[in-house]
Amino acid sequence: MVRTVEELEERLSRPRAALIEDFRRLEGDIVVLGAAGKMGPSLVRLATRAIAEAGTGAKVTAVSRFSQPGSADAMRATGAHVHPADLSDDAAIAGLPAAANVIFLVGAKFGTSGHESATWATNAYLPGRIAQRYPGSNIVALSTGNVYPLTPTGSGGPTEEHPVGPVGEYAMSCLGRERIFTHFAGLTNTPLALIRLNYAAEPRYGVLVDIGLKVRAGEPVDVTTGYANVVWQGYANEVVLRSLLHAGTPPFVLNLTGPETVSVRGAAEQFARAFATDVTFSGSEAPTALLSNASRCHGLFGYPDVPLAELVQLTAGWISDGQSLLGKPTKFDVRDGQF
């Protein structure tokens, strides 16, 4: 059980043997773009710890605006180099450091309704600029399961071969990200991996936090979107980093999530037991949900080292202790694509 931010950050960034071995095979430095977001800080720390244990001496450079006070210093403390940059500025893109390996974590989602043009600029135009800046580098671009349509809850979710069908402009712009990266990667023979994540979770944010907070507050839990996928963020970070060795032309496409189809009702009942309280529900389960089948991911990279039951326990303990939260709801229950 983790009880402090320091313990949580250590757990999130603890490299497993397979990642360390992969990093012994990986040539060149790593640049992480969008390093100060939800996933970036723990991913950067995981990368620096794995490189230290692999003994390769590779450099990790974290790129972000670092607008939050102290965020750049916290990143340096992980052992990473820090490169402040506003990636909406072409001059800043031109000044990015060279690297053989690029992790692209930049994206716009929340507050995008009413700001559709800016969403497309971030999610679809910027990828083209980055692809042009790093021709020939291994690029791993974080995408989303939102590129798939809602599918029957008993289906196990779409595999990577399932036709895409994004709902709403955010999801369409994310498919645009994939298409633009693929276009430029094909022009320059740049190895590319597209990682469709759905949804990363840790005790400070994620689908389970969204459910647990409602149960803790005594609010009804809406089960209209009755099922979801979640995955331990530490595992998600590991898969993103290990995918550098799988990037290719045409691109390596991977669904990234946990092995379970999580029942929202069942998760809420688990939280109620952990909090020793009652839970009430509203709505009834719709026949479809946003789901992904990550069998390919688990076959290549193994299963998450923090399974669902443990993740629920970690989250319940964190909420019970009144620990800090990121305050970034996933809106996993939105069905019309309006974020």
* Assigned domain for 118 exists: yes
Residue-wise pLDDT tens digits, 294-304: 999 999 999 99
DSSP letters spanning 120-131? HIIIIIHHHHHH
Distance of CA 59 to the CA centre of its chain: 22
> For residue 124, what are its two tokens?
């679809």
| 217 inside domain | no
CA dihedral sign, ordered 199, 302, 165, 170: positive
Q: Which two tokens stand for residue 296?
A: 């390919």
Rounded-to-integer distance, Cα 337 and Cα 331, Å:
10
Rounded CA-CA distance 324/320 in Å is 11
- Domain at 249, CATH number: 3.40.50.720
* Residues 180 and 125: beta-carbon distance below 8 Å: yes
Q: Does the pLDDT of residue 325 top 90, yes or no?
A: yes
Look up residue 276 and give its DSSP letter: T
Confidence band for 70, pLDDT divided at 50, 70 and 90: confident
Task: Provide the pLDDT for residue 112.
Answer: 60
150-186: per-residue pLDDT in tens? 999 999 999 999 999 999 999 999 999 999 999 999 9
**pTM score:** 0.95
Cβ-based burial of 281 (10 A; exposed 0-12, middle 13-18, buried ≥19) = middle
Instruction: Tell whether the model's pLDDT for residue 244 goes beyond 70.
Output: yes
Look at residue 142 in the predicted model and tell me its pLDDT: 97
pLDDT at 109 over 90: no
Instruction: With respect to residue 111, please indicate whether it lies within any of the assigned structural domains.
Output: yes
Distances (CA, A) of 24 to 12, 20, 27, 54, 273: 21, 6, 8, 5, 44
pLDDT given for residue 3 in this prediction:
83
239 Cβ contact list (under 8 Å, min separation 6): 195, 254, 256, 297, 301
* 5-12 and 233-242 helices, crossing angle to 10°: 30
pLDDT, residue 170, reads 92
Measure CA of the first residue to CA of the last residue in the chain; give whole Å.
Answer: 33
* Segment (H or E) for 297: helix 295-301
Note whether residue 283 is domain-resident: no
Predicted confidence at residue 339, as pLDDT, reads 72
The per-residue pLDDT for 299 is 98
In this model, does residue 324 exceed pLDDT 80?
A: yes
Q: Name the band, by pLDDT with cuts 50, 70 and 90, for residue 43.
A: very high
Provide the domain limits for residue 178.
5-200+232-258+292-304
195 located within any domain = yes
Of 113-117, 214-218, 227-231, 255-259, the range with the lowest mean pLDDT is 113-117
> If pLDDT is split at 50, 70 and 90, which confidence band does 68 have?
confident
What SS3 state is found at 86?
coil
- Strand (E) positions, the chain? 30-33, 60-64, 81-84, 101-104, 138-144, 151-152, 192-197, 200-201, 221-222, 227-228, 231-232, 252-256, 262-263, 281-282, 288-289
What number is the average pLDDT over the span 242-260? 97
Is residue 285, in this structure, part of any structural domain at all?
no
pLDDT band of residue 226 (cuts 50, 70, 90) is very high
For residues 183-198, give the mean pLDDT. Answer: 97
pLDDT at 110: 62
Distances (CA, A) of 281 to 113, 154, 268, 286, 289: 28, 21, 9, 14, 18
Indicate the pairing of strand 262-263 with strand 281-282.
unpaired
Closest Cα to residue 59, out of 83, 30, 34?
A: 30
Rounded to the nearest integer, the mean pLDDT of the chain is 94
Q: Is the pLDDT of residue 97 over 80?
A: yes
Q: What does the pLDDT read at residue 116?
A: 87
Phi, psi (degrees; rounded to nearest 5) at 33: -95, 130
* Stretch 206-229: mean pLDDT: 96
**Is a pLDDT exceeding 80 seen at residue 338?**
no
Q: Within a domain: residue 205?
A: no
For the chain, how many structural domains are there in total?
Answer: 1
Judge whether 313 lies within some domain: no
